[in-house]
Homo-oligomer: A and B are copies of this chain.
Amino acid sequence: MNDIIITISRQYGSGGRQIGQKVADALGIPFYDKEIIDLAAKESGLAVDFIRGQEKQLTQSLLFSIVTNVTASGGTFGPNVLSLADQVYLAEANAIRQLADKGPCVIVGRCADGVLKREKPLLRVYVSADLESRCKRAVGEYGDKEETIKKTVRDRDKQRARYCQHYYDQAWEDADNYDLCLNSDTLGIEGCVKVICHARELLSVK
């Protein structure tokens, strides 16, 4: 199996995106993150900025989605009318499928493991780190505000967890839902890259 697709779920500030990029570089395969938004926008007709905005307000969107559905059953909207959050979800899931169809790659975020489960051979990776180092990275590397950083980090994780729960009925932080979970504090960014590449190699010869 050399057609394995690596999906990376990551706690906010854990360095999971960087790890994914480095894994893709090391293996010489494509890395997809923002590309998913571009393709989703192109195929769905939704604007890139709109999709980005929806991703950032995910929790609110999902609540809106629930409210919309309730209203819909009441009358104004038909049952086949999708909420904006659901439209973005579908556009991104379709983009993930299209990118995965091209061959082996690394895909970060958006519950790609949930989208591709049962469709593609996967190595489902989750990257975590201690809260302190995540806050440090988010402030130092992502430019988040220091004053509210703990809340920012926790809120982003909650959003990701709710998204997975909502669309895949899956506990995002539960080790059982992954093939490999790594702590980037313990192993370091480069260590995580090496362990992921090693695991993929083991799967390839399995």
Contact = CB atoms under 8 A, between A and B. Distances in A.
Interface of A: 11, 123, 126, 128, 173-176, 178-183, 186-188, 191, 194-195, 198-199, 202-203, 206
A197 to B, nearest CB: 10
A203 B187 contact: yes
Contact of A187 (B173, B176, B194, B199): B199
Q: Which 9 A-B pairs have the closest CB atoms?
A: A181-B181, A175-B181, A175-B175, A179-B186, A191-B202, A179-B183, A128-B176, A126-B175, A198-B198
A203 B187 CA distance: 6
A111 to B, nearest CB: 15
| Oligomer copy total | 2
A178 B129 CA distance: 10
Given A126-B175, A178-B183, A199 B203 contact: no
24 contacts: A126-B175, A126-B181, A128-B176, A173-B174, A173-B175, A174-B174, A174-B175, A176-B183, A178-B183, A179-B186, A180-B182, A180-B183, A180-B186, A181-B181, A181-B182, A187-B199, A188-B202, A191-B199, A191-B202, A191-B206, A195-B195, A195-B198, A195-B202, A198-B198
A175 B128 contact: yes
Contacts of A178: 175, 181, 183
A167 B179 CA distance: 27
